[in-house]
């Protein structure tokens, strides 16, 4: 009974347990238990976590909301970062601000389509994603910079206890968003909106503003993911963010956030991302083909979505 009560109050525990079990599985398959293996997967998971937190915030607004423009926002942001920074430290912070501004604008457009024009979020954000993809393709024709600034190198490649600085930045973001949902009016309003929009309106919550900010934050976090990811891989390429589409949804629901909205678990999203990374690593060590890997990931995500739907009904 105590265990059930604890896990109900701390929805992230199952994702954490799953991550530990998958780490053990990877160690058994590879034949060695090493901290470096954990650090490598945690680093990869940190990039997924950045944009997944944005997906989580949009999903929390309820009514089946998703942000499908995230992968294209990541790719465009990576191209802008590499092309405009051009390896010069003096450009680092201006480009960072520009990337954040572009993300905020894209998020605002998403919210405008969903809230004002009443287009389903899946269709609206997918359409915006196509526009971003086209813009990236046009920019790619003149793109020729693969220089990474020293500041970016420091953030993405300098390691503390085997983990790059950017991963610690992600941890701070997770803590900040968890604090937002627990102690800040906006976070509580987000969950109230997801639970019952009409009741939230009657309670005096400015639901349109809250929903707008949700899409803006999601796009900004996706832009930040592309910003740092470009430094990590040392470049930008078309389709760079494609793998982050379903993975963001997967790690969010694995982490305990309700797909139907109304409950967000930021720490669970981090553990969900770590779990998915260990799953992929295990399949790679076992020499599974890319096709088989995608099938298994898809089955896991569908299974967890079904569980999440059932949890939402029981709650």
- Tell me whether residue 17 is in a domain: no
Residue 5 pLDDT: 42
Q: Taking 50 as the threshold, does the pLDDT of residue 3 lie above it?
A: no
**Model confidence over 257-290: pLDDT tens digits?**
888 888 899 999 999 999 999 998 888 888 888 8
Residue 310 pLDDT: 62
Residue 7 pLDDT: 46
Query: CB under 8 Å to 129, separation ≥6 — which residues?
Result: 68, 69, 70, 71, 72, 73
Q: CA 164 to CA 229: how far, in whole Å?
A: 12
- Tell me whether residue 34 is in a domain: no
59 with 252: CB under 8 angstroms?
A: yes
Per-residue b or e along 277-303, where b marks 16 or more CB atoms closer than 10 Å to that residue's CB: bbbbbbbebeeeeeeebeeebeebbee
- Tell me whether residue 21 is in a domain: no
Which strand (E) or helix (H) includes residue 258? none
Residue 315 pLDDT: 54
**Region 230-253 average pLDDT:** 90
Residue 314 pLDDT: 54
**Model confidence over 169-196: pLDDT tens digits?**
999 999 999 999 998 999 999 999 999 9
Q: Taking 60 as the threshold, does the pLDDT of residue 2 lie above it?
A: no
Alpha-carbon dihedral angle through residues 301, 306, 307, 310, given to the nearest 10 degrees: 160
Q: CA 122 to CA 224: how far, in whole Å?
A: 22
Residue 292 pLDDT: 84
- Tell me whether residue 15 is in a domain: no
Q: Taking 80 as the threshold, does the pLDDT of residue 10 lie above it?
A: no
CATH number at residue 271: 1.10.3470
Q: How many angstroms separate the first and last alpha carbons of the chain?
A: 17
**Number of domains making up the chain:** 1
71 with 241: CB under 8 angstroms?
A: yes
Q: CA 258 to CA 232: how far, in whole Å?
A: 31
- Tell me whether residue 122 is in a domain: yes
Residue 227 pLDDT: 96
- Tell me whether residue 31 is in a domain: no
**Region 48-69 average pLDDT:** 94
Tokens of 103: 């993300």
- Tell me whether residue 49 is in a domain: yes
Q: From the CB of residue 151, how many other CB atoms can be counted at a distance below 10 Å?
A: 17
Q: With the C-alpha atoms ordered 150, 151, 155, 161, is the resulting torsion angle positive or negative?
A: positive
- Tell me whether residue 159 is in a domain: yes
**Region 72-89 average pLDDT:** 93
**Region 38-54 average pLDDT:** 94
**Region 88-101 average pLDDT:** 95
Range of the structural domain that residue 102 is part of? 39-314
**Model confidence over 106-156: pLDDT tens digits?**
999 999 999 999 999 999 999 999 999 999 999 888 877 778 899 999 999
**Region 8-33 average pLDDT:** 81
């Amino acid at each position: 009974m105590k265990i059930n009560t604890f896990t109900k109050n701390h929805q992230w525990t199952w994702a954490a347990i799953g991550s530990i079990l998958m780490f053990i599985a990877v160690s058994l398959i590879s034949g060695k238990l090493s901290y470096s293996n954990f650090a490598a997967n945690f680093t990869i998971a940190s990039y997924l976590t950045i944009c997944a937190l944005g997906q989580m915030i949009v999903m929390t607004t309820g009514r089946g909301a998703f942000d499908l423009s995230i992968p294209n926002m990541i790719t465009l942001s990576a191209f802008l970062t590499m092309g405009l920074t051009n390896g010069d430290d003096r450009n680092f912070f201006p480009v960072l601000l520009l990337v954040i501004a572009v993300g905020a604008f894209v998020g605002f457009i998403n919210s405008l389509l969903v809230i004002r024009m009443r287009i389903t979020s899946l269709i609206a954000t997918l359409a915006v994603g196509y526009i971003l993809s086209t813009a990236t393709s046009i920019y790619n024709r003149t793109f020729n910079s693969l220089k990474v600034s020293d500041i970016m190198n420091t953030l993405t490649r300098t390691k503390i206890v085997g983990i790059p600085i950017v991963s610690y930045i992600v941890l701070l973001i997770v803590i900040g968003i968890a604090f937002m949902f627990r102690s800040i009016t906006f976070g509580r309003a987000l969950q109230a909106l997801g639970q019952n929009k009409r009741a939230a309106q009657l309670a005096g919550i400015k639901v349109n503003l809250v929903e707008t900010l949700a899409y803006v934050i999601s796009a900004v976090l996706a832009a930040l993911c592309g910003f740092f990811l470009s430094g990590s891989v040392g470049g930008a390429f078309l389709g760079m963010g494609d793998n982050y589409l379903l993975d963001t949804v997967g790690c969010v629901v694995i982490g305990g956030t309700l797909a139907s909205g109304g409950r967000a678990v930021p720490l669970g999203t981090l553990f969900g991302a770590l779990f998915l990374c260990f799953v992929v690593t295990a399949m790679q060590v076992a020499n599974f083909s890319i096709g088989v890997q995608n099938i298994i990931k898809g089955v896991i995500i569908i299974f967890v979505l079904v569980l999440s739907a059932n949890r939402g009904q029981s709650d």
